[in-house]
């Protein structure tokens, strides 16, 4: 429209009405939308086809809905050009062809407008954070509030802040960029801010894909954090199944090479279901149970460098450990507070798995965070009676053994020397398991309690879970999933980058006279090239900052909504440097 003002003025001079001019611009927008729609169908099909390896068909609903969305989306895209076109006067048909003038608003008014929009954007961003951290209600209602109001306020706030970010980029980033690319920064000092509407729209389009990518990366790795075992957990957990070890063979485990004898603790393990009256409505099933870990309190939890590190969220460690040693006090992990509503001071009621009518009560003296418990319970062989578990409980060894009548020791937690070989360790543990089974079989055969033909090698095995192997396997699997989720935002970002081409071409076309003058006074082609490249880089950096401003608060809101999805409480925000740098 800007390039055709003279032509439009001529049409107006020969009697073409404003309505007819507006309709012609709208028709152009529709005609541009049709190949966009066809290209979108083809691109979407190819992305799904090659990213998943499956064949996807197109049905009528897909085709019709995508056509409707594309065509309807072209209407607001035509609004600004239409408004510019109907303001063209017939006298412009005889005027000289002019360069598109930059923002003609007075500099003072322009600064006031920019700062006002920036303050409005900050206020909208703050309102989203208030919705995330200030409203405490049930998850479904919070999801509606965040999705409808929070994300809308966040997107509008970032959009309002982009003009100020562009001016900030020109003031702060242009000087070092001009020095690096070796051109005079005064030549393009205000080029982006002079056409603020165009550059804001371009940065906003780029920020759509970048913001979604940032959201996926921050949310994904923040949700992953509580699942990754850290140094709270000892180096290795060994389970001798299904019969455990005698006291003599249990002592042999401590003597295995590379096992640190002063960092070794046998564990009494049991899995018990909640008493039915303590289960909230809708929380039953296989998850309505806990795994109990019973250990010597002083050796396992107390001291400057405990074997098992418990990060207390509620309760005082000294009082909690004293209650565990002297009474029936237990420490539970934070998943039980989210999913089952247990609080400090409540009584945990569990059914004896060997006799369900017998209910055992334990006062909760501490609530802790213990990363990686989900995968430890999944791979460690501690789910003795149920396929899944809703949380873990730490208690004294004496209490767990007496309450559940545990005699043999089948579980051990210990640290390893640096460079210990997992395969050699597992082979040594397996040798002890077979020796224990042979001795047990010999004793039982002597008492004629089992058939004399029982074999030795097929009724005992070892499950070894090391912190390093757990961490690596979880992280590797999660990386693949998060990369898959981030593929579509990256494709969106790449497609939106095409818009930058149109903006830069338009910028060059409208400045041909200025470039001609620069060439006439001796500016080389290389400097012009670097100057245009610097403008594109400034737009990209502005869009990247806008992406972070949108993606990080959106991820924080998503974390709040998903805090009970996998039994986690308020996972910390994690910023994956490699992923964010890629975006």
**Could you write out the three-class secondary structure of 207-248?**
HHHHHHHHHHHHHHHHHHHHHCCCCCCCCEEEEEECCCECHH
Q: What would the two tokens of residue 398 be?
A: 């004496």
Please report the pLDDT score of residue 454 as a whole number: 43
Would you tell me the crossing angle of helices 525-561 and 512-520 to the nearest 10 degrees? 140
The SS3 assignment for 564 reads coil
- DSSP SS3 for 17: coil
137 token code pair: 């209600």
Q: Are 194 and 528 a contacting pair, CB within 8 Å?
A: no
Q: pLDDT value at position 36?
A: 83
> Which pLDDT does position 6 carry in this prediction?
86
- Distance (Å, rounded) from C-alpha 76 to C-alpha 277? 57
Task: Spell out the residues 6+ positions from residue 258 whose beta carbon is closer than 8 angstroms to its own.
Answer: 416, 417, 419, 420, 421, 424, 425
* pLDDT for the residue numbered 283: 66
3-state SS of 172-205 is HCHHHHHHHHCCCHHHHCCHHHHCHHHHHHHHHH
| Beta carbons of 253 and 259 less than 8 angstroms apart | yes
What pLDDT shows up at residue 544? 94
State residue 131's pLDDT score: 78
User: Which pTM value belongs to this model?
Assistant: 0.74
Cα(496)–Cα(68) distance, rounded to whole angstroms? Answer: 20
| 223-237: b (≥16 Cβ within 10 Å) or e | bbebbbbeebbbbbb
Beta-carbon contacts of residue 169 (< 8 Å; ≥ 6 apart): 192, 538, 541, 542
Task: Please report the pLDDT score of residue 277 as a whole number.
Answer: 86
pLDDT at 100: 47
CA distances from 437 to 68, 155, 244, 405, 454 (A): 70, 64, 9, 21, 11
Task: For residue 153, give Cα distances in angstroms to 142, 158, 549.
Answer: 15, 9, 12
Give the C-alpha separation, 45 to 444, whole Å.
65
> Which stretches of the chain score pLDDT less than 50?
97-101, 449-457, 564, 567-568
**pLDDT given for residue 272 in this prediction:** 94
List the beta bridge partners of residue 361: 349
Residue 405 φ/ψ region, left for φ over 0, alpha for ψ in the -120 to 50 degree band, beta for the rest: left
Collapse the DSSP code of 283 into the 3-class scheme (helix H, G, I; strand E, B; otherwise coil) and give the result: coil
Query: Would you say 391 and 333 are in contact if contact means Cβ atoms under 8 Å apart?
Result: yes
Residue 284 pLDDT: 64
């Amino acid at each position: 429209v800007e390039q055709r003002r003279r032509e439009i003025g001529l049409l107006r001079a020969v009697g073409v009405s404003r309505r007819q001019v507006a309709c012609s611009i709208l028709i152009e927008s529709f005609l541009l939308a049709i190949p966009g729609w066809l290209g979108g169908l083809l691109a979407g099909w190819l992305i799904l086809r090659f990213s998943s390896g499956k064949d996807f068909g197109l049905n009528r609903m897909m085709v019709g809905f995508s056509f409707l969305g594309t065509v309807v989306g072209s209407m607001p895209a035509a609004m600004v050009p239409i408004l510019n076109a109907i303001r063209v006067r017939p006298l412009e048909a005889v005027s000289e062809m002019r360069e598109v003038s930059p923002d003609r608003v007075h500099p003072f008014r322009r600064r006031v407008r920019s700062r006002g929009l920036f303050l409005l954007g900050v206020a909208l961003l703050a309102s989203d954070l208030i919705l995330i951290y200030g409203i405490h209600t049930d998850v479904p209602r919070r999801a509606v509030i965040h999705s409808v109001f929070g994300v809308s306020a966040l997107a509008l706030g970032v959009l309002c802040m982009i003009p100020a970010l562009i001016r900030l980029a020109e003031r702060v980033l242009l000087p070092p960029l001009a020095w690096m690319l070796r051109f005079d920064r005064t030549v393009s000092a205000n080029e982006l801010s002079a056409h603020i509407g165009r550059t804001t729209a371009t940065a906003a389009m780029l920020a759509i894909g970048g913001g979604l990518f940032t959201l996926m990366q921050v949310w994904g790795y923040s949700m992953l954090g509580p699942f990754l075992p850290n140094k709270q957990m000892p180096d290795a957990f060994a389970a001798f199944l299904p019969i455990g070890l005698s006291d003599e063979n249990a002592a042999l485990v401590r003597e295995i090479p590379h096992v640190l004898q002063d960092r070794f603790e046998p564990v009494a393990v049991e899995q018990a279901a909640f008493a039915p009256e303590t289960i909230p409505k809708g929380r039953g099933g296989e998850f309505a149970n806990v795994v109990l870990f019973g250990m010597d309190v002083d050796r396992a939890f107390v001291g400057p460098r405990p074997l098992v590190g418990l990060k207390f969220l509620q309760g005082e460690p000294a009082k909690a450990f004293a209650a565990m040693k002297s009474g029936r006090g237990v420490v539970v992990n934070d998943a039980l507070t989210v999913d089952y509503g247990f609080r400090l001071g409540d009584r945990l009621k569990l059914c004896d798995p060997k006799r369900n009518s017998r209910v055992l009560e334990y006062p909760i003296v501490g609530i802790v965070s213990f990363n990686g418990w989900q995968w430890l319970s999944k791979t460690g062989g501690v789910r003795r009676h149920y396929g899944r578990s809703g949380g873990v409980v730490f208690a004294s060894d004496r209490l767990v053994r007496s309450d559940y009548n545990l005699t043999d020791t089948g579980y051990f937690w210990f640290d390893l020397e640096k460079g210990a070989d997992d395969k050699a360790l597992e082979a040594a543990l397996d040798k002890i398991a077979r020796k224990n089974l042979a001795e047990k079989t010999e004793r039982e055969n002597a008492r004629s309690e089992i058939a004399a033909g029982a074999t030795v090698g097929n009724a005992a095995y070892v499950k070894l879970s090391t912190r390093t192997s757990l961490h690596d396997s979880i992280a590797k699997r999660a990386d693949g999933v998060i990369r898959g989720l981030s593929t579509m935002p990256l494709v969106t970002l790449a497609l939106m980058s095409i818009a930058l081409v149109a903006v830069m071409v338009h910028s060059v076309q409208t400045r041909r006279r200025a470039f001609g003058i620069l060439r006439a006074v001796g500016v080389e082609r290389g400097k012009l090239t670097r100057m245009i490249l610097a403008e594109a880089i400034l737009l990209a950096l502005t869009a990247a900052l806008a992406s972070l401003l949108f993606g990080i608060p959106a991820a924080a809101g998503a974390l709040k909504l998903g805090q009970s999805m996998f039994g986690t409480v308020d996972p910390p925000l994690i910023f994956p440097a490699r992923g964010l740098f890629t975006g």
